[in-house]
Amino acid sequence: MNPTADQYFVLIVPACSALLGMAMIYCWNLLREHRYLLWIAAGYLIMTVPLSVHSLMNNQQLASWSVLMSALYMGGVWSMAHGVALRFGGRMNAWAAALVIAATLGLLFYFSHIDDQLWMRMDCLNVGLALLVALPARAVLFGHRPRIPLARMLRVSYVIVLAYAVIRIFVLAALMPQDPQVELTRSGFWLLVLAANMIISIWLALVILASTALSIVQVLDQERSRDPLTRLLNRRAFFEQARKRMQEEGAQDWAVLICDIDHFKTINDTLGHAAGDQALQEVSALLARQARQEDLVARFGGEEFVLLMRCPDLPTARQAAERLRTCLMDLRIAGLPDALTASFGLTLLTADGDLDAAIQQADTLLYQAKHAGRNQVAWPRA
């Protein structure tokens, strides 16, 4: 090889591909459950090799290394397409991908070692790459709609990449130099192809990384807002969401219900803290199941839970509280010899929306229920 300065300059394209791949690996290290990032990162890193090597080859060397370099191209594109399919909850058809790769490599072998035709090799490779890009189309376009950040933009970006892969076939056929004396990797056409590939790759990577960054923010916000043991809202998040809902929907027709598990200290003292934690988790799951979409459920600490319920009047709120009390009595928890009971304090939110005052009143009523014998609901007696 006698590479020129221009050929060294175009190595910036594989360098960018390598950097994008490493950035996705870093993001995966923060969100280990997002395996799609590893597949897409692998695609970018694999593509670095043929992009680097091809840019330094002449036409004769391109023919000699055609099958191996093309296998790397197709492996990289397959890995990226598989990662995109996973991002949308789908999977690549492995048999279809294997058939496309085998057929493409077979044609490339023929047009490099039997009948050396550079433009045919380029066309065959790009048709194979376009077919690989198209394989996850069903999962991306017609699969379930995942609740992920920037999902629509990622879907649109995939359509752009697929359109580019198809259009590139015809552009190559129309613009590729036919003169065998012209060195492909020293032509303006090659620079144009690399520039287009870099723009598409960077755009797709930015959308994926932005989506991943928002996912990280969501996870961190969830960790900040949730009780680590029960996964219910914590005190801070409860007040934030409650005040937001009352601002949006009005402060009237809300009830505050405080629930406190009876004799919980006895469970910890006699059966151990593991049994106590299990009881808290089971009660939390029950409260979450019984709550409606517009209700809020939070753990305020220890064995105390607070619910903000949408209720038009006190009798309706009492029915909801009694239903929770009865469901809790029917709950059976492995490792606990007896059924759990709980005491409840219930009050309606006043028209001025003073949530702190309502919680304080419900807490006072809760202690009245405790002193009256537990396993009951206490409410304001007009």
Backbone angles phi, psi at 137, to 5 degrees: -60, -40
Question: If you search the block for the tokens 């699969």, which residue do you land on?
Answer: 143
Q: One-letter amino acid identity for 206?
A: L
CA–CA separation, 264 and 270 (whole Å): 10
- Among 33, 183, 249, 303, which one carries the catalytic annotation? 303
Q: For residue 205, count other CB atoms closer than 10 A to its CB.
A: 22
- From the number of C-beta atoms within 10 Å of its C-beta (0-12, 13-18, 19+), residue 134 rates as middle
* Closest to 366 measured CA to CA, from 303, 279, 298, 292: 303
Instruction: Give the separation between CA 132 and CA 97, rounded to whole angstroms.
Output: 6
303 is catalytic: yes
The set of residues, in sequence order, having a beta carbon less than 8 Å from that of 165 and lying 6+ positions away, is: 126, 129, 130, 133, 134
Q: Is 310 exposed, middle or buried (0-12, 13-18, 19+ CB in 10 A)?
A: middle
Rounded Cα distance, 315 and 104, in Å? 73
- CA atoms within a 13 Å half-sphere pointing along the CA-CB vector of 107: 16
Please write down the HEC assignment for all residues of 298-333.
EEEECCEEEEEEECCCHHHHHHHHHHHHHHHHHCCC
What whole-number distance in Å separates Cα of residue 50 and Cα of residue 47?
Answer: 6
| Catalytic machinery residues | 303
